[in-house]
Structure 1
Amino acid sequence: MEREKRTGRRDGRDGERMIKDSLFPISLFGIFLGVLFLMSGIHVGLVVLMNRLNWSELVQTLVPMAYWSVVAGGLTLFTRKKIRNTYEEPLHRLARATEQVAGGDFSVYVPTVHTSARLDYLDVMILDFNKMVEELGSVETLKTDFVSNVSHEMKTPIAVIKNYAELLQTGKGTREEQMEYARGIEEAAVRLSDLISNILRLNKLENQRIDPEIEQYDLCAQLEDCILQYEEMWDEKELDLEVDMEERAPVQADRSLMELVWNNLLSNAVKFTEPGGSVKVRQRTTEEYVEVSVTDTGCGMSSESVRHIFDKFYQGDTSHSGEGNGLGLALVKRVLVLMNGDIHVESRQGEGSTFTVRLPLPGDKEDRPEVTEL
């Protein structure tokens, strides 16, 4: 019986795959042994037959030699064919595919030797190679989209600055109109500056060129400070703000990076909530983590938007696209990865969204607050 081992890979029916441990299993050597025993028996039969027929000694010598030459040749050809089909040809296909990928062709696909029910470790390596090529192709597409999106996002404020500057150069228009042009230039310049700053910050985060300054601090105090920064925006849109927090919640994280997280979530909640709506900020501590959720009664998102909400430059609601550049939530996601935290989104179109952030508790249990059931 073939020696096999279980792996964590699952097939299309959610069952465990059986992956063969060897390209040349024990059963193959059993076949060779059986064939040799059979051939030996035939050899003995030939010797007995030649003795009974009183063949000459020369014939009795040549016949076994010819017989074993045929047997050896057959076994050699069978073994060679088995090695070529099982080992050499798949590796040659893999080598050619690797050369194509090195040349920039990410459409390569290498077929496995066996079906999904009879995979061996070479098949698994080929499957992993195909997956790697697919991921590389996705990265290349994302890079192209990134350059395209950056160009588009920069083009808009630059065009605004150019148009308003040309209007100011004409010297026409009232004093109020000229001030309006200047404000337009300032707003476009701020938007362009924010875009460049976010791109640089995200690039540093993704390439791990930022060393987080981890410290223990009170998360509740930081949330209160961030919420107060948006007080004018709450009042302007007449939003109902509900805050449910503990008195103190210590966390170990980079204070400045986490401030970026809260500011992005709060600004999005205000931006996407219609006047007269409500925003709720809730914080609680469990035995494993500190959780903060920001819920709004805004426009909500479709399931497609939820899947891509953390992609760079993705903006699900185009009606607010002029108020951001689609990098905020990508930054949030990357920061939380660095902080060993995570973020979860629940949203229904037309009913609002809830962003839930979870951060691990500080390592020192003495500094942890007493957890009470809410």
Structure 2
Amino acid sequence: MNQRYPRRLFTKMLVAFLFVFLLISQVIWLGFSLFAHDDSPFARQQRSLQQVQLASISGLLAHSSGPAAVQALVESWEPNVRPQVSFSPAPNTPTTIYAEDRGVPTILSQQLRDNAGHRYQVVLDYNGLDRFYERGHHSWHDSLHIPTPIMFFAPFLGIFFSLLLAWNMTRPIRQLREGFAKVSRGDLSVRLFPAMKRRYDELSIVAKDFDAMVERIDVLVKAREALLHDISHELRTPLARVQLAVGLARQSESNIPQSLDRIDLETERLDKMIGELLTLSRAEHDGIDIEQYFDFITLLEAILVDVRYEAQQPQVDVVAHYDSLKSVTVRGNAELIRRAIENVLRNALRYSTQGQVIVVKVEVDRDTLLLTICDSGPGVAEEKMSSIFDPFVRLQSSLSGKGYGLGLAIVRKVITAHHGQVSASNRQEGGLKISIRLPRWPE
């Protein structure tokens, strides 16, 4: 967390919060302006003061014999609340208040009686007194129609909540950024979900997906490294033999024919292994053309012809169970499917001995076809069953031959690329059973 980050997100959130606050305050003021009918607090306060003054004058005049006592009372008031008071004979008109409906009146006029029964028209003139002008008591923020307490506390509350929200949002983003930076530097041990799982929101789900991505990348990188190590190891042995043959040929001319035979043999082995590696790489990536359509039964019959020819020398029987007259259309690359099935059959042939039988069976339903190949060989130990489809995995057996452990790996890659499934299991009567399931193209 030592890397410094620009606070753009916090600034955006702070500005957005203050803008929304200002907008809401103006909408509230507009609503009160349109639908409220009461005076403002200032107008109610000044109206109350005027009524008190008028009641005091009325009460004093009712217990006195003239306006002189009233003038003495008015002179005792503070200058900023002292109106100009005038008396005149009362006309036969009702009392009138000169003011706006929702403002502060500047002139009050009312008929009053003294204790002698004389009627007077008393006028209270507030013109010239700034206290009774509402616009004279507005502060600079009144143009925004926001009360003073809110103007004082709102910026601090806005900054506090914006800071809290920005920290809560930018902290996981910084963690994600640092996690991606570590992955880009080759550190695949970084995990974010343990530190973010208590958020219980979308960002914790993102952290979980990030961890899954990194774990997948870690598995792929380790698999690539292991595959590169195995390829290097497998290539080193035949190359060493080639170098040895060259050295022997240089020592004596009599060793040249034998050395050339050895070089030819090792070259064939290298060519075979490189061909299998290319097939494995092609099956693993998106370079497979699966836009072809072929008859699976016809392809299987052609494969069985070659396998039965190879099975003559070890005297192994290959028995097939399927309906040769039924057409089963499969969408995919026929050449790769052929190689995959040949690899399984040759693997079964390698582990079979004289007199044993390899059984090939095809079961077809509406959507898929199931190809099972069973041999009568030694089978596979249960603890190694899950790894026989990995590259360069070879079982320690006297019947294993000279393979490189790429056959079944190619089978899995090819079948998976065709959206199928392949599995292996030991038979109860002995031997290994390979099951290949492929999607069938609808008729």
Cα-to-partner distance string for 1:241-294 (whole Å, 9 max, x where unaligned): 332121134222332222111110101111123444332111121122222111
Name the residue aligned to 2:184.
102
- 8 Å CA contact 2:289, 2:333 repeated in 1: no
2:437 pairs, out of 327, 340, 358, with 358
1:121 pairs, out of 177, 202, 207, with 202
Gaps of 5+ in 1: 1-63, 366-374
Matched, 1:231 2:308: yes
Structure 1: distance between partners of 2:431 and 2:354? 13
- 8 Å CA contact 1:301, 1:348 repeated in 2: no
Decide whether aligned partners of structure 1 residues 65 and 124 sit closer, same or farther in structure 2, where only a CA change above 3 A counts. Answer: same
Cα-to-partner distance string for 1:187-229 (whole Å, 9 max, x where unaligned): 3221100111222233233332343461232x23322322232
- 8 Å CA contact 1:314, 1:326 repeated in 2: yes
Name the residue aligned to 2:346.
267
Q: Report the alpha carbon displacement of residue 66 of structure 1 after superposing the two structures with TM.
A: 6.7
Structure 2: distance between partners of 1:147 and 1:112? 33
Decide whether aligned partners of structure 1 residues 186 and 229 sit closer, same or farther in structure 2, where only a CA change above 3 A counts. Answer: farther
Structure 1: distance between partners of 2:429 and 2:188? 40
Q: Secondary structure at the match of 1:310?
A: coil
Decide whether aligned partners of structure 1 residues 229 and 67 sit closer, same or farther in structure 2, where only a CA change above 3 A counts. Answer: closer
1:206 pairs, out of 284, 289, 293, with 284
1:81 pairs, out of 147, 164, 170, with 164
Q: Secondary structure at the match of 1:294?
A: strand
Matched, 1:161 2:242: yes
Q: Secondary structure at the match of 1:90?
A: helix
**Structure 1 counterpart of 2:420, which letter?**
G
Structure 2: distance between partners of 1:348 and 1:167? 49
Where relative contact order (Cα < 8 A, 6+ residues apart) is larger, the structure is 1
Matched, 1:346 2:437: no
Name the residue aligned to 2:269.
191
Q: Report the alpha carbon displacement of residue 95 of structure 1 after superposing the two structures with TM.
A: 0.7
Structure 2: distance between partners of 1:95 and 1:320? 54
Decide whether aligned partners of structure 1 residues 90 and 188 sit closer, same or farther in structure 2, where only a CA change above 3 A counts. Answer: same
Structure 1: distance between partners of 2:304 and 2:261? 27
Name the residue aligned to 1:136.
217
- 8 Å CA contact 1:302, 1:349 repeated in 2: no
Q: Report the alpha carbon displacement of residue 354 of structure 1 after superposing the two structures with TM.
A: 1.2
Q: Report the alpha carbon displacement of residue 74 of structure 1 after superposing the two structures with TM.
A: 5.8
Structure 2: distance between partners of 1:319 and 1:229? 24
- 8 Å CA contact 1:347, 1:353 repeated in 2: yes
Structure 2: distance between partners of 1:115 and 1:213? 44
Q: Secondary structure at the match of 1:235?
A: coil
Structure 2: distance between partners of 1:340 and 1:271? 28
1:326 pairs, out of 405, 420, 424, with 405
- 8 Å CA contact 1:161, 1:188 repeated in 2: yes
Q: Which moved more, 1:187-196 or 1:321-330?
A: 321-330
Structure 2: distance between partners of 1:155 and 1:349? 40
Q: Secondary structure at the match of 1:279?
A: strand
**Structure 2 counterpart of 1:84, which letter?**
W
| Overall identity of the aligned pairs, in % | 24
**Structure 1 counterpart of 2:305, which letter?**
L
Greater gyration radius: 2
Q: Report the alpha carbon displacement of residue 165 of structure 1 after superposing the two structures with TM.
A: 4.1
Q: Secondary structure at the match of 1:323?
A: coil
Q: Secondary structure at the match of 1:231?
A: helix
**Structure 1 counterpart of 2:432, which letter?**
S
- 8 Å CA contact 2:288, 2:333 repeated in 1: no
**Structure 1 counterpart of 2:231, which letter?**
V
**Structure 2 counterpart of 1:312, which letter?**
P
Q: Secondary structure at the match of 1:188?
A: helix
Structure 2: distance between partners of 1:125 and 1:115? 10
Q: Report the alpha carbon displacement of residue 106 of structure 1 after superposing the two structures with TM.
A: 1.2
Q: Secondary structure at the match of 1:355?
A: strand
Structure 2: distance between partners of 1:68 and 1:297? 90
